[in-house]
Amino acid sequence: MEPAKTMRSARSMPSQVALLLALIGAACSGGKAETSAGETTTGATETGGTSDGTETGTTGTTETGTIPTPETCESEGGDGCEFEFDNCKEDRDRDGVPLSCDNAPDHTNPGQVDIDGDGFGDIGDLCPTTPDMTNTADSDRDGLGNGCDLCSLGSFKYNISDAVPIAMRVRSMPVQSDRDGDGIGDACDNCVAVPNCQGYGDSEGLTPYRVGMPRDEEAPDCQEDADQDMIGDACAGLVGPGAAGPVGYGNDDDFDQDGIVNVLDLCPRLPVDYRACSGDDECPSGASCLPAGLCNHADHDGDKVGDLCDTCLLVANPEQIVDGGNQEDDADGDFIGAACEQDEGCTDRQNPRAFAFYDVQANGRCCVTTYNGEPIQDPDLSPVDPATLGQRPPGVLELPPGCDEALAASSDGKAHRLSACNVDDLADLWDYFCLLPTWDQDLDGVPDNCDLCPFAFDPGNQIYVDENDKEWPNSGKYCSGEYALGNYEIDNNCMPVP
């Protein structure tokens, strides 16, 4: 049996099982390997990797709480490209694949992996498991395409309704958990614990929803709410087993039915996995023990917003759940708060976090780092000491918080990127969805969507000024003029000559 197939969906599992996987999911990557999509990951210790991005290892034992190491996938690269090119302008991402047939021209992905075969490389595909003719539809701007996002449209109605307190609005959360299995993500579900959409659900007589199945969020039989109070008719007033109060938006209600009243719940729309406690030391990293004897959501920056629903993981920004501050915190709606935007130019420009599928994660973040330990150079090939890079988002230079806690729960101390060969169906990959940092491929601290030269290390993001002193505000200094790709040689990997 393939290891990844042994774990049940994290979207619709009993809380006790979900708790075990949450602990297991905090284990961290131990080595570095180039993934089949071209990104690189690194962890605490040196390990072996394979050219297609998966890592080898032994199978763990469930008796000790470890998870099996997924099998190594054979190469899943694209069909290749026969077209030869003789000018570096044909390879702006410097991955050796010319623009004419590069399935992700804005991302370095020499493997050209495209598991759904729609012509969009996985590394930049907003829905990598469901083929589509376009790759641009992302209504809520969270980095996931409408065709696979469980809250693609649901965000908006909650954010404009006076019936919903500011602290309980959706705010384009990219979280993809679905406790009741009805195809509506917990973050935007008007009945988190009761299925109420078109016959889908994780209950007897219903069909658990999987990405790719037909679903109409706006159909009359989905999220029915006759009185328009933003609470589904199927669960209004319900007090389920273990709940701390009825489904509702009041302070003493328990909207997500996870045993924590709304006023104390650090992510009141997202159920926390049940864990009894008598003190903080019995809770996961970053979580506290409530008077009711249950662990709350992890909150590593202490701003009273749980990590799963926090726009800034390690920068306190409590204003995000306060009227007025909510709008200013994330003006561009990409779920990255202004307090932790890497560059001022990105405050009002969408640059959502990337995502991937890993078997090990913590609080929704993949337990890997995007920096692989390779030398960093500026555009003139002068070395850059990684120690001088300064603060970077979790997952770039350092593992996200919570990853260290469960190293012992992983069979080999590493996170493994999962791909098609690890699951029975491509839709099963979504059980291992987790977030990576926003794209910053040159590691200069300026996210790619705001970087004038996304493949040239330039923390200042300087504009190009030509020989006539004319300024070009939309062109970067280090990818124009003398630094233009057309001036470089293919034989030198389209880099300046030392």
**Residue range 356-391, pLDDT digits in tens:** 999 889 999 999 999 989 999 999 999 999 999 998
Highest mean pLDDT among 195-209, 334-348, 483-497: 195-209
Which is higher by pLDDT, 263 or 34? 263
Given a cut of 60, is residue 17 above it in pLDDT? no
Domain ends where: 271, 291, 306? 271
Identify whether residues 301 and 357 lie together within a single domain. Answer: no
Environment class of 133 (CB within 10 Å of its CB; exposed 0-12, middle 13-18, buried 19+): exposed
Identify whether residues 287 and 257 lie together within a single domain. Answer: no
Given a cut of 60, is residue 3 above it in pLDDT? no
The answer as to whether 251 is a domain residue is yes
The residue-averaged pLDDT of 348-359 equals: 94
Which is higher by pLDDT, 74 or 448? 448
Identify whether residues 253 and 176 lie together within a single domain. Answer: yes
The answer as to whether 18 is a domain residue is yes
Identify whether residues 52 and 135 lie together within a single domain. Answer: yes
The answer as to whether 5 is a domain residue is yes
Domain ends where: 346, 370, 401? 346
Identify whether residues 249 and 204 lie together within a single domain. Answer: yes
Identify whether residues 89 and 167 lie together within a single domain. Answer: no
Environment class of 205 (CB within 10 Å of its CB; exposed 0-12, middle 13-18, buried 19+): exposed
Identify whether residues 194 and 161 lie together within a single domain. Answer: yes
> In the chain, pLDDT over 90 holds for what percent of residues?
69
Highest mean pLDDT among 12-26, 151-165, 250-264, 395-409: 250-264
Which is higher by pLDDT, 412 or 382? 382
Given a cut of 60, is residue 171 above it in pLDDT? yes
Number of domains in the chain: 4
The answer as to whether 497 is a domain residue is no
The pTM of the full predicted model, rounded to 2 decimals, is 0.86
pLDDT for res 83 = 74
The distance in angstroms from the start CA to the end CA of the chain is: 51
Given a cut of 60, is residue 192 above it in pLDDT? yes
**Residue range 453-479, pLDDT digits in tens:** 999 999 999 999 999 999 999 999 999
Identify whether residues 296 and 384 lie together within a single domain. Answer: no
Given a cut of 60, is residue 430 above it in pLDDT? yes
Residue 350's alpha-carbon distances to 174, 449, 481, in angstroms, are 14, 7, 28
The residue-averaged pLDDT of 161-188 equals: 94
Give the domain extent around 460: 449-492
| Cβ within 8 Å of residue 399, ≥6 positions away | 28, 29, 43, 44, 367, 368, 369
The answer as to whether 498 is a domain residue is no
What rounded mean pLDDT belongs to the chain?
A: 85
Given a cut of 50, is residue 92 above it in pLDDT? yes
